[in-house]
Amino acid sequence: MANRYIDITVPLDPGVLVWSGDEPVVFEHFTGMHDGAPYRVTRLHIGSHTGTHVGAPHHFGASGTTVNVLSPAALIGPAEVHDFRGVQAINTREMENRDVGELPRVLIRTDNSGWIRRGPMPDLPSYLTENAAAYLIGKAVSLVGFDGISIDHPEKAGAHLLLLRAGVIIVECLDLSSVSAGRYELICLPLRIAEGDGAPARALLRRGEYTSLASG
């Protein structure tokens, strides 16, 4: 059944939003002939943290795990989507109110999903506080997915540092705009970039035994 899957990947194209200071995405198209048949090849100019992407512990620490050796077991399995719309600074109290951390993979839907594909990005988007990151670490969460370009306040990197140094995988720039709060199976596979600090990924949610009846 095709509708069992929800694609939560932001399409990667030259219009995708990038972090301030990062170079924009560029596609260069080439055409030619080979053995009498026309062909087309596209050269991609992108950063490792562009679009929907996985951030490996190596992103903030030279000794951290690189993206090419991340275990698929951490990237595939039961996950819970939590709805934080209307909350700008997501802190421990907000986490506790929603019983976050019962499953090892936590996906956070915020007001960011309303602009993540094309913008405009607000001056202060929703973000995760450092105490919320510490709370997730205490819950032994293995992966945190977020619907913003960064999980952090635009002027800080506290949540990033805490989570990645604890070995927690971060997935950013998810499109959760059509996803209801509840339980799913997450399938998130980044490009296997050697010694990579991160990599673009395709992320899907599968409805099934983990699905909640919560409305969205």
Is residue 42 in some structural domain?
no
Q: For residues 81-103, give the mean pLDDT.
A: 96
Is residue 65 in some structural domain?
yes
- Give per-residue pLDDT as tens, 197-212: 899 999 999 987 555 4
Asked if the model's pLDDT at residue 90 lies above 90, the reply is yes
Helices 158-165, 130-138: inter-axial angle, 10-degree rounding: 20
Is residue 145 in some structural domain?
yes
Strand partners of residue 33: 38
Q: How far apart are CA 155 and CA 130, in angstroms?
A: 13
The domain containing residue 194 runs over which residues? 2-13+47-206
Closest CA relative to residue 152, chosen from 178, 181, 132 = 132
At 62 the pLDDT is: 60
**Alpha helices, DSSP H only, in 76-185?**
92-97, 130-138, 158-165
Is residue 171 in some structural domain?
yes
Residues 6 or more apart from 51 whose CB is under 8 A from it?
Answer: 9, 10, 11, 12, 16, 25, 173, 200
Q: What phi and psi, each to the nearest 5 degrees, are found at residue 26?
A: -130, 130
Is residue 34 in some structural domain?
no
At 143 the pLDDT is: 97
Catalytic residue list: 59
Is residue 166 in some structural domain?
yes
Is residue 67 in some structural domain?
yes
Q: How far apart are the two ends of the chain, measured CA to CA in Å?
A: 21
What's the CATH number where 63 sits?
Answer: 3.50.30.50
Asked if the model's pLDDT at residue 214 lies above 60, the reply is no
The larger pLDDT score, comparing residue 39 to residue 110, is at 110
Is residue 149 in some structural domain?
yes
Count how many domains the chain has. 1
Q: How far apart are CA 123 and CA 35, in angstroms?
A: 53
Among 66-70, 182-186, 212-216, name the one with the lowest average pLDDT: 212-216
User: Token digits for 161?
Assistant: 């540092």
Asked if the model's pLDDT at residue 215 lies above 70, the reply is no
